[in-house]
Amino acid sequence: MGKKYMGRVGQLIRRKLTQLLLEESNDPRLANVTITDVVVNRDTSRAEVFYSIIGSVDEIAAVQSVLDGAAGWLRNEMAPTLRLRNVPKLVFTYDPSLAQGARIEALLQQELHGQGPVTPNFEEALEEDFEVADDDDSADA
């Protein structure tokens, strides 16, 4: 299958999953889940669904287990509307990008409102949070 087709299938799945989670899910833990992306493999047998939620590690783990448990129900609910030969198996993966973005925005707001630097060495804190590779080692090679 072509990349364009896989992208369209991914967007259809993303749209339908978002609709199901918002409108038909009875679990309140899924109310704040945001589907950020869906990547479908070449034969559309597997779809990796990236989701994000802002919360503690325990809340993220709870949402992960709920999504894993609801994967069959979600797949069954999507089947009639997608009209695909093979409805892909849903695999949920946490995407920390929204939480990192919210943290960066909070740090910037704190800095801009004159409260001073959040940490003495702001660059070190970012490197620790985002696991940035040390560029000095690659420059020596």
pLDDT at 60 over 60: yes
Rg (CA), the chain: 19
Alpha-helical (H) ranges within the chain are 3-19, 57-82, 97-112, 122-130, 135-140
Structure tokens at 11: 């967007």
pLDDT band at 129 (very low <50, low <70, confident <90, very high): low
- C-alpha–C-alpha distance, residues 80 and 39, integer Å: 20
8 A C-beta contact, residue 35 and residue 21: yes
Q: Which residue has the higher pLDDT, 36 or 124?
A: 36
- C-alpha–C-alpha distance, residues 16 and 105, integer Å: 30
- C-alpha–C-alpha distance, residues 67 and 80, integer Å: 20
Mean pLDDT of all residues belonging to the chain: 81
Domain ranges, ordered by start, for the chain: 3-95, 99-140
pLDDT at 55 over 90: no
Percent of the chain with pLDDT over 70: 79
What's 3-95's CATH class? alpha beta
